[in-house]
């Protein structure tokens, strides 16, 4: 299911967090749980992966993560502000030390001129740290976009784990 590079990256991230004593939470929309799934594919990940939220619908973002309805209405679910609220909500609703959130348009449909297929907003939050948000327009099909999102989420978590 996961390619070798993603599993290698997941293993390295888990070991880095283990050494730093950090637990992870994920808040996922367009990836539908792939980030948490890839991490938990690795045996022994339960000491690092605290929980994962799959918040595909706007209602789930509101109910599970506390993302304000008005924020979604004003900015759209695929936005930096919603990604930040998701990452911070994942921390608030978990025992994790760091979190990553993703929201985007994985395609093949659903894109627009303002928010094309491939647009993904990511945010990484940590207790006592400033939340970092980025966005990318990833090329390729749905699988390519989702894989690139997982890789980017891992990169953000690695940075959070090393910048302690």
Q: Give the confidence band of 66 by pLDDT, cuts at 50, 70, 90.
A: very high
| Partners of residue 18 on adjacent β-strands | none
- pTM (2 decimals)? 0.97
**Cα separations in angstroms, 73 against 49, 136, 153:** 31, 22, 25
pLDDT tens, 41-56?
999 999 999 999 999 9
Separation of alpha carbons 160 and 7, rounded Å = 19
For residue 84, give the CATH number of its domain.
3.90.950.20
**Is 91:64 a contact under the CB 8 Å cutoff?**
no
The answer to whether residues 122 and 156 touch, using CB atoms and an 8 Å cutoff, is yes
Residue 60: cis peptide before it, omega within 30 degrees of 0:
no
For 30-42, what is each residue's pLDDT tens digit? 999 999 999 999 9
Mean per-residue pLDDT, 72-93 = 98
The domain tally of the chain equals: 1
Which domain, by its residues, includes 150?
A: 4-163
Q: How far apart are CA 101 and CA 5, in angstroms?
A: 21
137 and 119 Cβ atoms separated by less than 8 Å:
yes
146, 30 in Cβ contact below 8 A?
yes
Which 3 state secondary structure label does DSSP give 60? helix
Instruction: Indicate if the pLDDT at residue 164 is higher than 80.
Output: no
Angle at 96 between CA 95 and CA 102, to 5 degrees: 125
Query: Position of tokens 């980025």?
Result: 134
């Amino acid at each position: 299911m996961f390619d070798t590079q993603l599993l290698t990256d997941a293993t390295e991230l888990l070991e880095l967090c283990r050494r730093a004593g950090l637990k992870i939470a994920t808040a996922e929309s367009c990836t539908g749980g792939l980030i948490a799934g890839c991490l938990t594919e690795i045996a022994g990940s339960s000491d690092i992966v605290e929980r994962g939220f799959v918040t595909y619908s706007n209602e789930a973002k509101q109910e599970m993560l506390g993302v304000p309805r008005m924020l979604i209405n004003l900015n759209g679910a695929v936005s930096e502000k919603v990604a930040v609220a998701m990452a911070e909500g994942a921390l608030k609703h978990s025992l994790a030390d760091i979190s990553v959130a993703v929201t985007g348009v994985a395609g093949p449909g659903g894109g627009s001129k303002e928010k094309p297929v491939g647009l993904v907003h990511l945010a990484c939050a940590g207790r006592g740290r400033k939340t970092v948000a980025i966005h990318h327009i990833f090329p390729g099909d749905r699988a390519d976009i989702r894989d690139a999102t997982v890789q980017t989420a891992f990169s953000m978590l690695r940075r959070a784990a090393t910048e302690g």
